[in-house]
Amino acid sequence: MRSFQEKPDLGACCSWCERMRALDLFCGAGGLSLGFKMAGFCVTGVDISEAAKKTFELNQIGDFKTVDLSPEMVEGDFDIVLGGPPCKPWATVNTVRRDSRHPDYRLLVSFFEHVELLKPKAFIMENVPALGSTPIFRNMLAKMDQAGYSVRAENIRYSEFGAPTIRRRLIVFGLRKDTE
């Protein structure tokens, strides 16, 4: 596996400050990143999509890196890793290539490999509820426990938090056990 060796250029937002640093893997247009920026974090977004890059930069969320996270790893010093790996392998609307037969299947593992490599204080992952009942997900949670993280996974409905949608999502929160 090739590694993305360049230390992220955190831009004007973070080059001088002592704020917490967030890495958003599979950031897309940057909704999760924007929330963390608004909460005071310095954010680095990572995605393979040029459209995501344009939106991320247009909204001035933070630094953006165009990286294919299937073969590459992002390195750096981050307090929290965020992400929503592609959900197509587990989405209920996908009736053709599910689970390991889907080319995006490996990207879930990539997310957790980043957590193991970077050892952030915490991580948050968002995905479809169906993922929560799969063997690969249970294996990844066990791996995070072995890597020193307390992990909690819950299915939530966004409308219960004020969002104008009834979508349900799986939210996974991990906290490094040595973090006070």
**Partners of 46 in the β-ladder:** 25, 65
Question: Which of 88, 83, 89, 98 has the alpha carbon at shortest distance from 27?
Answer: 83
SS3 call for 21: strand
Catalytic residue from among 13, 14, 42, 87: 87
Other CB atoms within a 10 A radius of the CB of residue 111 amount to: 21
Residue pointed to by tokens 């963390």? 36
For residue 87, indicate whether it is catalytic: yes
Cα dihedral 136, 137, 142, 146 sign: positive
What are the residue numbers of the active site?
Answer: 87
